Amino acid sequence: MSNNNKNHVISVLVKDEAGIVSRVSGLFSGRGYSIESITAAQTSEKGYARITIETSGGDENVIEQITKQLNRLIPVLKVVDLGDVESIERELILCKVIAKDEDRSEILRIAEIFGAKIIDVTQRTYTLEAIGDERQIRSLIELLRPIGIKELVRSGKVGITRSNQFTSTKAE
Amino acid sequence: MSGTETQQKTDKLTGAQIFLECLRKEGVKEIFGYPGGVILTIYEALYNCDFIKHYLVRHEQAAVHAAEGYSRITGKPGVALVTSGPGATNCITGIANAYYDGYPLVVFTGQVGSSQIGNDAFQEADIIGITRSCCKHNYLVKDVKDLPRIIKEAFHIATTGKPGPVVVDMPKDILSASCEFVWPETVKLPGYNPNYNGHPKQISKALELLCEAERPVIIAGGGIVASEAMEELKQLADKLHVPVTNTLMAKGVYPETDEKSLGMLGMHGNFWANHAVTNCDVLFAVGTRFNDRITGCLKRFARDAQIIHVDIDPCSINKNVKVDIPIIGDAKNVLRAMLDEFNNNNYEIHHEVKQSWLEQINEWRNKRPKIEHNSEKLSAITVIQKLYEYTKDMDPVITTEVGQHQMWAAQLWKCDKPRRFVTSGGLGTMGFGFPAAMGIAVADKDRLVINIAGDGSIQMNIQELATCVEYQIPVINVIINNGYLGMVRQWQEKLYHQHYSETKISGPDFVKVAEAYGARGFRITKEEDIIPVIQQAIECRQPVFIDVVVDEYEMVYPWVLAGNPINKVLLSNNCPIN
> What are the backbone dihedrals phi and psi of residue B477, each rounded to the nearest 5 degrees, phi first?
-105, 115
Which of A22, A61, A69 lies closest to B318 in CB terms?
A: A61
Contacts of B314 in chain A (CB under 8 A): 68, 71-72
pLDDT value at residue B577: 57
Q: What ipTM was estimated for this complex?
A: 0.89
Q: Does the distance separating the beta carbons of A76 and B129 come in below 8 Å?
A: no
Look at residue B410 and give its three-state secondary structure.
helix
Average pLDDT, stretch A21-40?
95
Identify the residue among B99, B162, B192 best suited for mutation to test binding to A, counting A beta carbons within 10 A and taking the highest: B192
Q: Does the distance separating the beta carbons of B132 and A26 come in below 8 Å?
A: yes
* Residues of B with active-site annotation: 60, 122-123, 172, 487
What's the burial of B392, exposed, middle or buried (CB within 10 Å: 0-12/13-18/19+)? middle
Task: Show which residues on chain B lie within 8 Å of chain A, measured between beta carbons.
Answer: 128-129, 132-133, 136-137, 140, 142, 157, 189-192, 313-315, 318-319
Average pLDDT, stretch A40-62?
92
Distance from CA of B514 to the nearest CA of A (A): 42
> What are the backbone dihedrals phi and psi of residue B357, each rounded to the nearest 5 degrees, phi first?
-65, -45
Q: Does the distance separating the beta carbons of B191 and A74 come in below 8 Å?
A: yes
pLDDT value at residue A57: 74
- A1 reaches B (C-beta below 8 A): no
Look at residue B201 and give its three-state secondary structure.
helix
Distance CA B197, CA B489 (A): 46
| pLDDT (tens digit per residue) in B231-240 | 999 999 999 9
Distance from CA of B193 to the nearest CA of A (A): 9
What percent of the residues of chain B are helix, what percent strand, and what percent coil, each to the nearest 5? 40, 15, 40
Q: Is the pLDDT of residue A107 over 50?
A: yes
Look at residue A129 and give its three-state secondary structure.
strand
Distance CA A68, CA B39 (A): 37
DSSP B298: G
What integer best gives the mean pLDDT of chain A? 91
DSSP B462: T
Residues 12-31 (A) with a CB less than 8 A from some CB of B = 14-15, 18-19, 22-23, 26-27, 30
Which of B133, B191, B318 lies closest to A76 in CB terms?
A: B191
Cis ω on the peptide bond leading into residue B558 (within 30° of 0)?
yes
Contact (Cβ atoms closer than 8 angstroms) between residue A126 and residue A118? yes
Give the A:B interface size as CB pairs under 8 Å.
41
Distance CA B65, CA B274 (A): 31
State the Cα torsion A127-A36-A169-A67 to the nearest 10°: 170
Q: Does the distance separating the beta carbons of B190 and A18 come in below 8 Å?
A: no
- Positions of chain B with pLDDT under 50: 1-9, 578
Contacts of A61 in chain B (CB under 8 A): 318
Contact (Cβ atoms closer than 8 angstroms) between residue B243 and residue B358? yes
Contact (Cβ atoms closer than 8 angstroms) between residue A57 and residue A5? yes
| pLDDT (tens digit per residue) in A119-171 | 999 999 999 999 999 999 999 999 999 999 999 999 999 999 987 665 445 44
Alpha helices by DSSP H, listed for B392-447, are 404-412, 433-443
Q: Does the distance separating the beta carbons of B191 and A75 come in below 8 Å?
A: yes
With the C-alpha atoms ordered B388, B391, B396, B402, is the resulting torsion angle positive or negative?
negative
Considering only alpha carbons, which residue of chain A is nearest residue B319?
A: A65
Average pLDDT, stretch A85-114?
96
Q: Does the distance separating the beta carbons of B313 and A74 come in below 8 Å?
A: no
Distance from CA of B134 to the nearest CA of A (A): 10
- A90 reaches B (C-beta below 8 A): no
- A57 reaches B (C-beta below 8 A): no
Distance from CA of B219 to the nearest CA of A (A): 23
The one-letter amino acid code at B162 reads K
The predicted model scores a pTM of 0.94
Distance from CA of A156 to the nearest CA of B (A): 25
Q: Does the distance separating the beta carbons of B314 and A71 come in below 8 Å?
A: yes
Distance from CA of A77 to the nearest CA of B (A): 4
Contact (Cβ atoms closer than 8 angstroms) between residue B482 and residue B456? no
